Amino acid sequence: MAESKEAIDSYLATLDATRRGALSDLRQQIHELVPEVEECISYGLPGFRLQGKMIAGFGAFKDHLSYFPHSGSVLEILKDDLVGYSRTKSALHFSTPLPKTLVEKLVTTRIQQALNDSRS
């Protein structure tokens, strides 16, 4: 896990202070919600695993930051909570830190899916 932590630290170090701060806050929130989560790099981006299953990830892009639930249905399930955010089927786009209540919904919804569905 130390290597993954260092890889994510390195990833964040390449970003400007505003983007680094927003993604560092997200990282901390995920750890607070799921203390046993394991950090990793998945598809070249920071990610988080629980019991071997991907439950979250994030990345910085030219025009936005993204949260990845690693599920094609989490964002649709929570669509009423995502009004005002741009999104695709697999990513939520944002430019300022996500509210803690939203991060909690995103993470807990994905955990429920991942741990209750052996195909995830």
Q: Is the pLDDT of residue 118 over 60?
A: no
72-107 pLDDT per residue, tens? 999 999 999 999 999 999 999 999 999 999 999 999
* 66 neighbors 98 (Cβ within 8 angstroms): no
This prediction has a pTM of 0.92
From start to end of 4-84, where are the E strands? 38-42, 45-50, 53-60, 65-68
Residue ranges of domains in the chain, CATH in brackets? 2-116 (3.90.1150.200)
Average pLDDT, the chain: 94
16-29 pLDDT per residue, tens? 999 999 999 999 99
